[in-house]
Amino acid sequence: MRAHLEIERRFLVRDRSVVRGTEAIEIAQAYVFADERTLLRVGRRDGGWRLTVKDTGSGLVRREYHAPLPEEFGAALFASPAVRRSVKRRHRITYAGRVWLVDVHRGGPVLAEVELSTRDEALTVPSWCGAEVTGDPAYADHALAREASE
């Protein structure tokens, strides 16, 4: 398993109509562990389960590792009463030559994220974006996840 270096900026979406008419995939995730430095999650998308380990880094730059999981293992982890779960619909929107991922969280905010090649890479932010929330722990996916009993 190799580390992927993720350099990502995140924004609140002020104009939710940006996703109207675009295709989306559903992503279901369960957070097995998350603290201020590391998270461990299991997720299902495109018909398969995968395990992700992510260091929280600076919020802008993080290392992440992915590994596929057998169906039974992923389903068992996701169903555990000890996890926090999230479900979101992810839309891909191209703007100014970049692919933006717009996540509509079930029962939560709409967030846009874009991956960069370098920490200081120039970025044109779309007008449908609002405040930048990169590194804000309140908008981390694991913070938006719900207790399994909810």
Q: pLDDT digits over 93-117, tens only?
A: 999 999 999 999 988 899 999 999 9
Report the alpha-carbon distance of residue 64 to residue 144 in Å, rounded. Answer: 19
How confident is residue 73, by pLDDT bands cut at 50, 70 and 90? Answer: very high
Beta bridge partners of 33: 40
Give the pLDDT confidence score for residue 70 in this predicted structure.
95
Q: What is the mean pLDDT of the chain?
A: 89
Tell me the sheet residues that pair with 94. Answer: 99
Cβ atoms < 10 Å from Cβ of 73: 13
Nearest to 49 by CA among 14, 91, 78: 78
Tens of pLDDT, residues 10-57:
999 999 999 999 999 999 899 998 887 888 999 987 788 999 998 866
Q: Alpha-carbon dihedral of residues 20, 15, 138, 135, nearest 10 degrees?
A: 100
Contact 23, 32 (CB under 8 A): no
What pLDDT was estimated at residue 35? Answer: 81
Question: What span, in angstroms and rounded, lies between the C-alpha atoms of 49 and 74?
Answer: 5
Residue with the bigger pLDDT between 143 and 11: it is 11
Distance between CA atoms of 76 and 82, rounded to whole angstroms?
Answer: 11
Structure pTM? 0.87
Higher-confidence residue of 34 and 131: namely 131
